[in-house]
A and B are shown apart, each in its own frame.
Chain A
């Protein structure tokens, strides 16, 4: 059924029916608080049934309390239709060919001014309408693979994405961009780092922290940076491209297995953990920070390994955790567990029996650290030694989410636990690094004079 009352319900619908008023109707409303004139707008379904929304002639919206309405009259009707202008994406001879895969994040979008809904811009024509600068960087093709929010990305999408990318590489594309919501951007980056190996071209995941319907959005610049990196960079890795500082200055290219979203709302939320980013990127150039990375190649020899076992979990340890948590995982058929332990990789004694049980049943448990920075070191204390003797495997300096993705991917291809162990502990894409450089851990504390001096001089 078509919702002709567009989001209105209960008392509000009754009032609209009573006075024969349509959504988009131009109305005069008499209320106990005085008269109002405007166009009846659709209402968000989650809002209450006590108000009707009007757009005033000045462009402002106001709500009218239905309990105050004494009369309503429709004197006109002005339905609005929205469409993003499409301009043909110009083809420029000699520019690299880049493919943009859409997953449902709204990297470029426009707001439906009346309802507040976000309309994604996605086709090359729409993107060109919104970010014309892209045409100076590459010849762009787009393909919308799915339409899901970032938090709803899952195994099905990861596999489809890896396969689609493999095909594009075989067909000769110069670079790949994946538009993605930022919440689980680093999860997808990690799993793609394992599913797509030996890529000859850059694969760039990009999102935006401020939607592109806002003038100060980071979307357009992120997209330009991503396009530059995909089209021109020599770095053939799976990478995340997002703002370096919160200022509109440069983007960072992060290794897909070492990156993490570290702030719920900052533009510069993505940080490389335990290492430096691979490079900085501006619209003009890519400047490598790291020297050893996989270089772009002309061959098309890529390995696509689209495997994923859904019966893997990531357990965030907390003091006084009870073994029943682990028993219930066993009962529910989980095949692998990653624990984010405290400090160097510890959990409490009450869990020991459950951990031993896992070993008996052949459910591998990998240990990572909640501190994010640093390695698991289970030889330092007796607890660690005990845990290892019960079968827990330290996962070096793999980030918890990365270990989770890797274990899912490994168990997706084999049940042989030795093979799984080998896959887990052999670095594939810097998911484990042999050393942590001194500048891989820098969290400055505000208020300290030398830090304040630095912050004053260098744009945040």
Chain B
């Protein structure tokens, strides 16, 4: 009998799934998968205070800096159908002690659910309506604060207060438009400090900061479109000038499904650039699960009858070398062996790059049964930890058949039952569908299980808040102050003849209002200005981090200064890095540090003939442009700021064409 090779099985199943790297995939591949994706973009608003209390918004503490701690537990509440929501039950099974770390400066009794909400922050509501109007949405007549249950403890009440501001709407992508489902205003959640075994710790500084959530229809059909939609929503949010920027101020949840698959939500993607890889891999993970389902249904006639077999390990494994199991034995934990009938080849079945079906089990054991990873070994490990003798004994203990797979996990006695349930539940789901779940994004572009996806049943009215009417007059007053919308912005950039590789930078930094002022007031060439930002400034920021106090408006002042001093604008790009680092420095001093001296145009041009003279004496090059380059190179330091370089270049060329020195 040929020995089972998990590595080879992994490769062959990867082929069966049809996995290709993203760089080798094209639109057709995604079409074949039936790839569909929608976005939920979370964006913090730049308000002074939190959404439902008067704590300052946007102040963050070190995760380990706190004044007090308190402990809570979350209990599921009955849904309107008289049942418990799936997520609710899962979270309840995990039996987590939730600790909140509180800092007096940023947290009050509202945050920890010891005081009812104060009236909604009107500043936040105004910003949300403004952005809703930018998305061309239908604004609601009355805002109804709704409670959305979260039992993971990330919000001490156990629910997030949220309300719909507008529905429908549209955003422009390069090749199509994407429709918007809704925009809601809501309070941000706690930041997680740690989550180990039965203890989860949060800090409450971020809790309650107002944010908006923009939800698109699942109309993006390739990973790149998803990222593009994310960028456009970010541009629109930022164009309002009313949103926070910086780490964590904007986060995305990405929904992905394929033909025959299920909507799976990848949560908390903090960088737009991660989206393509994550969605690509999720699509193939779902394809892999569908392949597994197909394979299992071929092998198992009656899935209702299928049952894993669990046994406590009763043979001696004391000379095992594997640290986690040694530690478990030292702790007096239980070692449980499990036989999965007909699961041979499934545990090492490819699902994501470097991840298999066994990872799905391991992930759920960590989240639901609170078993820290590594929490199991199995019969298809690439590096087995049980020796031949132990494997034989395990086989006998479990009465394993040729087509079965085996798992061994270790856990404290009180967690064993939940762990068994979790394994059986996940294996059974493999017969049915791609499980409805939320997954956590990892930096390598893969995902791990986070929790069961909650249903619509977790929404209910907030009895602590009255509805808030939104009158036509109020909406109109906001509409009158709106920035130009994105489609118009794109048209304007084209009209200004700005190269398209500058667009993302300009829109992301919301520089158009500033550019408009510079062009209008200072009559600067728009194309030059566009590249000053989109190429020069972007290049500089890629290398140095602007100091505190740097503001793009300084560029307006700089250009204005140069114009008044009658200095050519070419020198601006040399000044920018210094301004970035020393925003307080006077422009005069910056010019000094660049050793700028004022020369009359004629003085500079006069030098051309003597330089050409010198060049002919030292020249060895046969390159016809050598003279032009050498002369320009020598003149640039004194020319910069005194004569447009292009004009100087034209003069030099003309001079040389006319035969040089006469």
Contact = CB atoms under 8 A, between A and B. Distances in A.
Interface in B472-503: 472, 475
A64 B67 CA distance: 45
Interface stretch (A52-60, A186-194, A285-293): A52-60
A112 B80 contact: yes
Contact of A267 (B114, B141, B167, B458): B114
A63 B140 contact: yes
A217 B75 contact: yes
B466 interface: yes
Interface string A229-248: 00000000000000001111
Given A33-B138, A455-B67, A63 B83 contact: no
Given A85-B82, A110-B78, A456-B67, A34 B167 contact: yes
A213 interface: yes
Question: Interface majority SS on A: helix, strand, loop or mixed?
Answer: loop
A169 B115 CA distance: 38
Contacts of B157: 214-216
A110 B77 contact: yes
A248 B461 CA distance: 25
A216 B114 contact: no
Contact of A60 (B69, B116, B139, B459): B459
Contacts of B463: 111, 116, 118
Given A214-B157, A220-B75, A459 B70 contact: yes
A452 B113 CA distance: 21
B68 A60 contact: no
Given A47-B467, A246-B114, A455-B67, A60 B144 contact: yes
Contacts of B472: 32, 65, 67-68
Interface stretch (B158-166, B322-330, B333-341): B158-166
B66 A36 contact: no
A413 interface: no
Contact of B82 (A60, A84, A460): A84
A84 B67 contact: no
Contacts of A221: 73
Nearest to B165: A62
B113 A61 contact: no
A116 B114 contact: no
B137 A34 contact: yes
Nearest to A264: B115
A212 interface: yes
A452 B462 CA distance: 34
B78 A130 contact: yes
A61 B83 contact: no
Given A63-B467, A84-B82, A113-B80, A68 B141 contact: yes
A61 B102 CA distance: 32
A434 interface: no
Contact of A63 (B68, B76, B142, B158): B142
A36 B137 CA distance: 11
A48 B471 CA distance: 13
Contact of A56 (B71, B72, B164): B164
Interface in B73-93: 73-80, 82-83, 88
Contacts of B13: none
A247 B70 CA distance: 5
B144 A82 contact: no
A54 B404 CA distance: 53
A61 B469 contact: no
A248 B70 CA distance: 8
B535 to A, nearest CB: 41
Contact of B163 (A60, A64, A210, A446): A60
Nearest to B69: A459
B304 to A, nearest CB: 25
A48 B114 contact: no
A249 to B, nearest CB: 6
A80 B80 CA distance: 9
B37 interface: no
Interface in B163-203: 163-164, 167-168, 181-182, 184
Nearest to B466: A47
Interface residues of A, number: 63
Interface in B47-70: 66-70
A214 B167 contact: no
Contacts of B114: 246, 263, 265-267
A215 B158 contact: yes
Contacts of A7: none
B116 A50 contact: no
A65 B142 contact: yes
Indicate the size class of the contact surface on chain B: 35 or more
Given A36-B138, A83-B82, A116 B77 contact: no
Contacts of A50: 141, 469
Given A48-B469, A58-B182, A62-B164, A249 B141 contact: no
B479 to A, nearest CB: 11
A213 B462 CA distance: 11
B139 A129 contact: no
A276 B77 CA distance: 34
A4 B112 CA distance: 40
Nearest to B145: A61
A61 B146 contact: yes
B180 to A, nearest CB: 12
B236 interface: no
A22 interface: no
A249 B97 CA distance: 10
B78 A85 contact: yes
A283 to B, nearest CB: 12
A220 B461 CA distance: 21
A248 to B, nearest CB: 5
Nearest to B78: A110
A216 B78 CA distance: 13
B72 A247 contact: yes
A433 interface: no
A114 interface: yes
Contacts of B159: 214-215
A163 to B, nearest CB: 34
A80 B163 CA distance: 22
Nearest to B162: A60
A59 B181 contact: no
Contacts of A31: 138, 141
B69 A460 contact: yes
Counting chain A CB atoms within 10 Å of each CB, the highest count among B104, B115, B460 belongs to B460
B109 interface: yes
A62 B470 CA distance: 11
Interface in A241-270: 245-249, 263, 265-267
Given A113-B79, A265-B115, 17 more contacts: A32-B472, A50-B141, A58-B164, A59-B148, A59-B456, A61-B146, A64-B140, A213-B77, A214-B157, A216-B113, A216-B156, A246-B112, A247-B70, A248-B72, A446-B104, A455-B68, A460-B69
List of 10 A-B pairs having minimum Cβ-Cβ separation, nearest first:
A63-B142, A215-B158, A34-B138, A65-B141, A59-B459, A113-B80, A116-B461, A59-B456, A61-B144, A247-B71
Interface of A: 31-36, 47-48, 50-51, 53, 56-68, 80, 82-85, 110-116, 118, 129-130, 210, 212-217, 220-221, 245-249, 263, 265-267, 446, 452, 455-456, 459-460
